[in-house]
Structure 1
Amino acid sequence: MSVQQFLEEQNLKVQDLHHNITNASWMAQTTGEKEWAQKVAEAQTEFRTYFSNPEALDAIENFLKETDVSELERRQLETLQKTFKENQLPENTLKELSQLSAELNHMFNTYEPEVNGKKLSANDVRNILINSLDLQERENAWKASKEVGKVVEEKLLTLIKVRNEAAKAVGYANYHEMAFKNQELDREEIFSIFQKLVDLSDSTYRQLKHQLDEELAAKFGITVSDLRPWHYVDPFFQEAPATEKTNLDPYFKDQDIEKLTADTFAAMNIPIDDLYAKSDLNPRSGKNPTAFCTDMDRNGDTRVLCNNQPDAYWMGTMLHEFGHAAYFKYLDRELPYILRSPAHTLTTEAIAMLFGKMTENKEWLETFLKLENDRLETLAPALEKFEQLKMLIAGRWIITFVFFEKELYENPDQDLNALWWKLVNEIQLVNPPEERDHPDWAAKIHFTLAPVYYQNYLLGELTSAQLHQYIKTEVSEQFFNPTVGNFLNEQFFKPGSKYHWNEKIKRATGQSLNPQYFVDAYCR
């Protein structure tokens, strides 16, 4: 069989297997019905079983040795090779991995915490942490948001150990090491970059965090030393709380955030409003309480799940998720199916983050929210400082998660609760609750839904900073216009995964990923 025939067969098979997973997963995430969670497990098992074929892996590795293979063919073979290598496992192991993952996702999607007999949605918890001055109510809501950790802990640790066993069976020390390798990421390099970001941002972060803590202590009538995780606006301290000056929620109270999102992308000649028809944007019981975007078929059926409310958080989330969606929609459909996806998770996160931050962008507020110039001139300096704090808080949170996850896979039997709060305290500078031995770490769905993924958020932020600076200096000073949209479409979206992610960044911006742009923007 020629390499052309082999790849043609693989593309058709991968397309079929991929669509089975995305269809079942979408139904599971939007209905919360257990039968769909089971169908996800079955579809994932079928996918993994297909890729466990050692003869196909041998064929790929032989083709890669040939000298007359084109670059496009080589890229497809390398992509297939990674997937086949990680699935060279017994069928019962593959089935167990898929089953455990599906069961855990169902548990997360359907769990509703309670306080005094009242069920709280994720939006309810968020609203309490943003708005309530009742310290007991805040503490109760925060603790309730963590209860799912206790519910899933045992099964999640089982899944982590099965993942590790599977990785060892195909030649890796643990699942974390295998995942980095298959994502074309150098673990030593990435962790070195992240530690360097902690060091370079330390002085600025400590100064801004201290200012924030003094403001919160005054707001709640307590001392800074009394601050605990429930005094911040996010259960994991992922976000900076808006001040009176930077609270944009009132500006969105009567706005149609779906229209604002559509208008943003339309102004750049990359319209996405046609994707609303199959998306699921409003909150209801049973569906996934967070937000995500999925490319159903790599042929135009791209969908977003949100739980919208008319506020700044969900406005930013819509822009973020439809940043993903624009990337998926405008991939070159002439590419082979295997390459018709983003160059890397970090490159699609870069686009999502580029757009998600626009709610604090002066040009966006003027163009789409129609804020008057006088108001903008008052808002702009405070929003610029707010964005810096947001980025540093988000960066520290991501690094906390990433450092913890590495140690989690290296030794899942250690005292994980103590490790979690040690890292939260050292990196995020958040005081742990007293006498608490609870799996708060396990309440974060990414350990289940997207294992060894979180580093891509920060890598996406680094890429976003580099891309934004390049656009401003080399493409257009104004962001929301067709020139910028066409640049993103041609240089970032269309090539798909035709190139290695760092080659893609270099082709788009003139240089490989350079963290200095993020440092210059936010660590000053």
Structure 2
Amino acid sequence: MSVQPFLQDQNAKVEQLYRGVTHTSWMAQTTGEQEWAQKAGEAQAKLRTYFSDRRVYEKVQAYLQEGGLTALEKRQLESLKYSFRENQLPEESLKELSQLSAELNHMFNTYSPEVSGKKLSANDIRNILINSSDLQAREEAWKASKEVGKVVEEKLLTLVNKRNEAARALGYANYHQMAFENQELDRDEIFAIFQSLIDLSDSTYRKRKGELDQELAAKFGIPVSALRPWHYADPFFQEAPASEEISLDRYLKHGDVEKLTAATFAAMNIPIADLYAASDLKPRPGKNPTAFCMDMDRKGDTRVLSNNEPNTYWMGTMLHEFGHAAYFKYLAPELPYILRMHAHTLTTEAIAMLFGKMTENKEWLENILQLEKEKVDQLAPALEKHEQLKMLISARWIITFVFFERELYENPGQDLNALWWKLVKEIQLVNPPEGRNLPDWAAKIHFTLAPVYYQNYLLGELTSAQLYQHIKTEISQQFFTSAVGDFLNQQFFQLGSKYSWNEKIERATGQPLNPQFFVDAYCRTLPESTAK
């Protein structure tokens, strides 16, 4: 069989299996029903079992050795190679991995922590940590947010060990090493970049974090040394709290985050409001309490799950998730099915992050939220300072997670609870609770739902900073224009996975990924007059 009929056959089979995965996964995440969780695990196992076929894998490798391949043929074969390589396992092993993951996802989606006999949703806990001045209530809510860690720890560690066994069977030291290679990422290079970001941001981060700690200590009437994780605005200290001065909650209280999201993308001639009909945007018991975007068929059925409330957090979340959705919606339909997806998870995260941070962008506040220019100008210095703090906190949190996850897979039997809080203290500069020896790390769903994925959030931020600077200097000084929308659509969305992730970035911005753009934007010391 020549390469073209082979690729046509592969595209058709992958499409059929992919649709089974997305349908059952969507139902599992939106209903919380065990039956759908079971079906999602089975569908994922079918996909992985197909990619475990060694005969097909060997054909892919043989075709890649042939001469005369077009660039598009080679790219499809490379994509298939990575999918097959990580699944060269016995069928029973693949089924076990998929089922364990599905069971854990179901446990996360259906678990509700309690405080004094009252069940709390994720939004309840978030609201307490953002708004409450009751120190006992804050501590109880924070501890409640970690309860799921105890529930899932044993099964999660079983899954981690099973993933490692699978990776070792394929010749890798552990699953983490395998995952990086199959994501076309140089692990040593990525960890060196992240360590460099810690070093380059250190003085600025310590200054901004110190200012935040002083404010929180004064707010709660305690010494800075007494601050603990529950004094911050979210359970993992991954976000900077918005001060009353710059909080948009008062403007969004009676607003419509769905309409504002639609207006944002419509202003750039990349409308997404038609995607609302199939999406699931309101909170209710049983559904996944977080947010995500899912491309159901790579042919236009793109959906977002969210749990919207009229506040700044969910406004940013909607912009983030529909950044993903815009990317998926505008993929060029003429691309082969295998390539009708993002070039890399970091490239779709870059677009999501580009839009997600618009809640602190002067142009968005004035043109989309329609605040008066005088008000926006008044807020601008505090917004710039807060955005810097937010990005540095986010980067430190991501690095903490990524460094921990590497150690988790390298030695799952070590004292993971102690390791977690050691890294939190050293990287995030957050004081651990005294005498606590519980699997707080396991309360983060990404260890289950998206293993060895988290580095892509920070790589996405690096890409986002590079894209934004290129747009402002080469495309348009005004962001919310059709010219910028056309650039993103034609130079990023439509290309899908036609090119490798770094080639795609270089084609769009004129150079490969360069972390200096992030450093320039967020790691500099602001002038004192601006920071006041």
Quote the offset at 1:7 in angstroms. Answer: 0.4
Question: Alpha-carbon deviations, 1:12-42, whole Å to 9, x = none?
Answer: 0000000000000000000000000000111
User: Which secondary structure state, in structure 1, belongs to the residue aligned with residue 146 of structure 2?
Assistant: helix
- How many angstroms apart in 1 are the aligned matches of 2:246 and 2:213? 16
Quote the offset at 1:177 in angstroms. Answer: 0.4
Quote the offset at 1:326 in angstroms. Answer: 0.1
User: Which secondary structure state, in structure 2, belongs to the residue aligned with residue 294 of structure 1?
Assistant: strand
Q: Equivalent residue for 1:450?
A: 450
Quote the offset at 1:247 in angstroms. Answer: 1.3
Q: Equivalent residue for 1:300?
A: 300
The 5 A counterparts of 1:185-200 are 185-200=185-200
Q: Equivalent residue for 2:16?
A: 16
AA in 2 matched with 1:439: P
Quote the offset at 1:245 in angstroms. Answer: 1.2
Quote the offset at 1:334 in angstroms. Answer: 0.4
Question: Alpha-carbon deviations, 1:158-203, whole Å to 9, x = none?
Answer: 0000000001111111000000001000000000000000000000
1:402 aligns with 2:376: no
The 5 A counterparts of 1:375-524 are 375-524=375-524
Question: Alpha-carbon deviations, 1:211-262, whole Å to 9, x = none?
Answer: 0000000000000000000000010000001112121110101111101100
Q: Equivalent residue for 1:181?
A: 181
User: Which secondary structure state, in structure 2, belongs to the residue aligned with residue 511 of structure 1?
Assistant: coil
Quote the offset at 1:55 in angstroms. Answer: 0.6
- How many angstroms apart in 1 are the aligned matches of 2:90 and 2:497? 30
- How many angstroms apart in 1 are the aligned matches of 2:498 and 2:278? 28
- How many angstroms apart in 1 are the aligned matches of 2:438 and 2:86? 33
- How many angstroms apart in 2 are the aligned matches of 1:456 and 1:278? 27
Question: Alpha-carbon deviations, 1:431-458, whole Å to 9, x = none?
Answer: 0000000000000000000000000000
Q: Equivalent residue for 2:279?
A: 279
- How many angstroms apart in 2 are the aligned matches of 1:242 and 1:480? 24
- The runs of at least 4 aligned residues of structure 1 exceeding 3 Å deviation read none
Question: Alpha-carbon deviations, 1:63-105, whole Å to 9, x = none?
Answer: 0010011110111001101111111111110110001000000
The 5 A counterparts of 1:359-370 are 359-370=359-370
Quote the offset at 1:375 in angstroms. Answer: 0.8
Q: Equivalent residue for 2:240?
A: 240
Q: Equivalent residue for 2:45?
A: 45
1:251 aligns with 2:265: no
1:30 aligns with 2:40: no
Q: Equivalent residue for 2:325?
A: 325
Q: Equivalent residue for 1:168?
A: 168
- How many angstroms apart in 2 are the aligned matches of 1:272 and 1:487? 17
* Unaligned stretches of 5+ residues in structure 2: 525-532
AA in 1 matched with 2:511: Q
Question: Alpha-carbon deviations, 1:368-388, whole Å to 9, x = none?
Answer: 111112211111110010000
User: Which secondary structure state, in structure 2, belongs to the residue aligned with residue 208 of structure 1?
Assistant: helix
Q: Equivalent residue for 1:60?
A: 60
The alignment-based identity, stated in percent, is 76
1:310 aligns with 2:310: yes
- Superposed CA RMSD in Å reads 0.5
User: Which secondary structure state, in structure 2, belongs to the residue aligned with residue 486 of structure 1?
Assistant: helix
TM-score (norm 1): 1.00
Range moving further from structure 2, 242-251 or 229-238:
242-251
Q: Equivalent residue for 1:288?
A: 288
Question: Alpha-carbon deviations, 1:333-390, whole Å to 9, x = none?
Answer: 1000000001100000000000000011000000011111221111111001000000
The alignment covers a number of residue pairs equal to 524
- How many angstroms apart in 2 are the aligned matches of 1:391 and 1:18? 34
- How many angstroms apart in 2 are the aligned matches of 1:14 and 1:280? 26
- How many angstroms apart in 2 are the aligned matches of 1:341 and 1:84? 17
Quote the offset at 1:210 in angstroms. Answer: 0.5
Range moving further from structure 2, 299-308 or 370-379:
370-379
- How many angstroms apart in 2 are the aligned matches of 1:507 and 1:24? 36
AA in 2 matched with 1:239: E
Range moving further from structure 2, 141-150 or 81-90:
81-90
Q: Equivalent residue for 2:73?
A: 73
- How many angstroms apart in 2 are the aligned matches of 1:62 and 1:241? 54
- How many angstroms apart in 1 are the aligned matches of 2:315 and 2:470? 25
User: Which secondary structure state, in structure 2, belongs to the residue aligned with residue 163 of structure 1?
Assistant: helix
Q: Equivalent residue for 2:158?
A: 158
- How many angstroms apart in 1 are the aligned matches of 2:226 and 2:122? 25
- How many angstroms apart in 2 are the aligned matches of 1:518 and 1:277? 36
- How many angstroms apart in 1 are the aligned matches of 2:386 and 2:84? 45
- How many angstroms apart in 1 are the aligned matches of 2:362 and 2:57? 52
- How many angstroms apart in 1 are the aligned matches of 2:372 and 2:58? 64
- How many angstroms apart in 2 are the aligned matches of 1:378 and 1:269? 30
- How many angstroms apart in 2 are the aligned matches of 1:173 and 1:348? 29
Range moving further from structure 2, 100-109 or 82-91:
82-91
- How many angstroms apart in 1 are the aligned matches of 2:307 and 2:327? 21
TM-score (norm 2): 0.98
- How many angstroms apart in 1 are the aligned matches of 2:104 and 2:219? 38
AA in 1 matched with 2:67: T
Quote the offset at 1:310 in angstroms. Answer: 0.3
Q: Equivalent residue for 1:209?
A: 209
Question: Alpha-carbon deviations, 1:299-328, whole Å to 9, x = none?
Answer: 000000000000011000000000000000
Quote the offset at 1:465 in angstroms. Answer: 0.3
- How many angstroms apart in 1 are the aligned matches of 2:361 and 2:136? 35
User: Which secondary structure state, in structure 2, belongs to the residue aligned with residue 479 of structure 1?
Assistant: coil
- How many angstroms apart in 1 are the aligned matches of 2:77 and 2:512? 24
* Unaligned stretches of 5+ residues in structure 1: none
Quote the offset at 1:48 in angstroms. Answer: 1.0
